[in-house]
Structure formats: structure tokens, C-alpha cells
Amino acid sequence: MSESKLKELRSDINELNELLNLAKRKKVQDILSLEIRKLETEWINLKENETSSVTPMDVGPVPTTSASAPVQNKRYQIKINGYGWDQSEKYIKVFVTLKNVHNIPKAQVFCKLTERSMELHVDNLENKDYLLVINNLLEPINIEDSHWKQKTDMVVIFLAKARPNVSWSHMIAIEKKFEDQRNNRFKPDESDKKDPQDSIMDMMRKMYETGDDEMKRMISKAMYESQHKKKTDVVDL
């Protein structure tokens, strides 16, 4: 269900971005931008809920009821969603910021790699375990030549390209797919004779019907100003 909702939200966001590129009036652009931000926020929250990042994990034996038994601390696993990346001729470099990661033993920082995926594990960093998973890499990697390093407040993973000198346009294949679909949708369709402004007005009517009071107020004001501008243009002529 959540996967279907995510796809629907992403489709709405993409279509709103198309209309935003067609819009000419600033008020209309502001309304579309506001709706895009709302949907982006909803998409991010739904995505985070789908991949719930915090699950308790007991460390050591289960505490007994004895008053003299020490209280066992719980360690939590946290999924990392953000990272940076860059590339050279030989490597894809993934940058993961984690405060004080340089202070823990190297054995607690390790990667699990396949030709098309990577997992970064950081164990027991200030009583928390961290996990970064990147699946469906755009290109295959050479596992044997890949490695990672701990730096100050950061882990850098060097993923060796299976095909050196091939530049990656995206980190994962799904990102490239979305970008290609978005670019194709922006290409003009000669068979489509509908006025772009009509599409914008249709979308604004739908947003008015489903929006809150603030959204309805902004749309009403924008439509009024648009009609007033048309009347002024006629008089000037």
C-alpha cells in the first residue's frame, strides 16, 4: 500500500514540476511551488515510515530481577539515509558523516559488498549501531579492489569501478530511470495541441477543490489577478 502511495506522490510531484516550468505568472508559480513542497514532505515522511530506522537491540544477557544485577544498556540500530558521493576514473567514493566515528576500533566499521550493492555497518558508536544500504548500483563494482577508511567524523567507501573510466551519471539505476522519464515528459509532443495555460488552470482547479483554506485563498487571488490582467490588456488595446 505504501509503495503504491509513494509512486502516486512521485507522479503528482513530477507533473506539478512540469506545470511549474510552463507557468508564467509569479503567483501561479508560488502556488505550484507550495504544493510541490507539501507533496515532497509527505513523500519523505512516508518513505521514512516505510523504512523505520530505529529498532531496539539488546546487548548482553537479559537483565534479571535481582536487585544486585547490573542494568543492561540497549543498543539501537539506526538506518542512514543521507550520504554524499563523487567519482574518479577508478572509484566511486561514498562519504558518510558520523560524529566521532574515528574514535572507535576499525573492526567496528566494515562493509558488505556485492557487484551491485553495498552495506556500511558501524557498530557500537556511542551505544548505537549505524547501517547504510545502497542497492541497485548504476554500474557493477569490483569487490576485491574496493575498500573503506575512517576519517575525522566520516567514513569514506571506495567502490572500485568494474569498468574504469566509465562515468556514472547517477549512483543508483532507479535515479537514472526517474531522470530519463522526467526528461522525456518535458519533450514537446507535437500531437498535443492543448494550451499549456489550460493545463495549469485545470490543475489549479483540482488543487482548489482538495486544498485547505490557505491554498484556496491563494488560488482565488491568483485567478482574480489573472482575469483582471486580461481585462486591463483589452482596455489598453
Question: Residue 181's pLDDT is what?
Answer: 82
Q: Which fold has domain 75-173?
A: Immunoglobulin-like (2.60.40)
Domain positions in the chain are 10-49, 75-173
pLDDT digits (tens, 9 = 90+) for 165-177: 999 999 999 888 8
Listed in sequence order, the residues at least 6 apart from 15 whose beta carbon sits closer than 8 Å to its beta carbon are 203
In the chain, which residue ranges form alpha helices assigned H by DSSP?
2-22, 26-50, 173-186, 196-210, 213-236
Contact 94, 82 (CB under 8 A): no
Q: What is the pLDDT of residues 177-191, one digit of tens each?
A: 888 887 777 665 555
Bigger pLDDT: 82 or 183? 82
Read off the pLDDT of residues 3-22 as tens digits, 9 standing for 90 and up.
Answer: 777 788 778 878 887 787 78
Q: Does pLDDT of 91 surpass 70?
A: yes
Average pLDDT of the chain is 80
Using CB atoms within 10 A of its CB, is residue 235 exposed (0-12), middle (13-18) or buried (19+)? exposed
Q: Which residues sit opposite 131 in a β-bridge? A: 79, 121
Q: Region 104-125: what's the mean pLDDT?
A: 95
For residues 57-84, average pLDDT: 65
User: Would you give the distance in Å from CA 33 to the centre of its chain?
Assistant: 17
pTM equals: 0.50
pLDDT over threshold 50, residue 64 = no
Q: Select the more confidently predicted residue: 231 or 23.
A: 23
Determine the pLDDT at residue 29: 79
- Choice between 34 and 185, residue whose per-residue pLDDT is larger: 34
